[in-house]
């Protein structure tokens, strides 16, 4: 296990409008605010055609080959994610969401692209003082969180 301890910093509330994209819109906002570490919560609507990563084709094959699915019709959506900088210092959101329509729900990682259906509300909690970065992992193809505890 790796860990790093931090403190609560700024808190932001955002409203994404019809057609705006996640995670791109949020990550661009984070860059503009100089926020590199945090936690994000999302609630609202996902447009028809939004895409989720819904698992690996084979859970043990390396490198991982992701399965991507597109939503059919507008969906209610909620998600939670972490924000950590990559090797260049740019903040990267890792968020999983559940998208529901009628009695069906699709859950997955939003990195393939969620398009806002009328409104997405995002709450961002900044975490300061962390020594944590997402670094590339050659075996999996993921950018894995690397933490360094402070003395």
Q: Which residues contact 108 (CB under 8 A, 6 or more apart)?
A: 52, 53, 54, 55, 69, 96, 97
Q: What is the pLDDT along the chain (151 residues), one digit of tens a residue?
A: 999 999 999 999 999 999 999 999 999 999 999 999 999 999 999 999 999 999 999 989 998 899 999 999 999 999 999 999 999 999 999 999 999 999 999 999 999 999 999 999 999 999 999 999 999 998 888 999 999 877 6
What span, in angstroms and rounded, lies between the C-alpha atoms of 64 and 68? 13
């Amino acid at each position: 296990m790796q860990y790093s301890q931090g403190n609560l910093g700024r808190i932001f509330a955002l409203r994404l409008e019809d057609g705006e994209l996640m995670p791109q819109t949020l990550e661009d906002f984070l860059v503009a605010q100089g926020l590199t570490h945090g936690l994000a919560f999302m609630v609202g609507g996902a447009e028809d055609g939004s895409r989720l990563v819904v698992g690996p084709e084979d859970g043990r094959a390396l490198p991982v080959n992701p399965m991507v699915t597109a939503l059919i019709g507008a969906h209610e959506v909620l998600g939670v994610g972490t924000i950590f900088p990559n090797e260049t210092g740019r903040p990267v959101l890792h968020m999983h969401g559940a998208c529901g329509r009628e009695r069906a729900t699709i859950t997955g990682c939003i990195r393939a692209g969620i398009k806002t259906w009328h409104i997405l509300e995002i709450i961002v909690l900044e975490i300061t003082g962390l020594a944590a970065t997402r670094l590339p992992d050659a075996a999996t193809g993921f950018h894995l969180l690397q933490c360094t505890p402070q003395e």
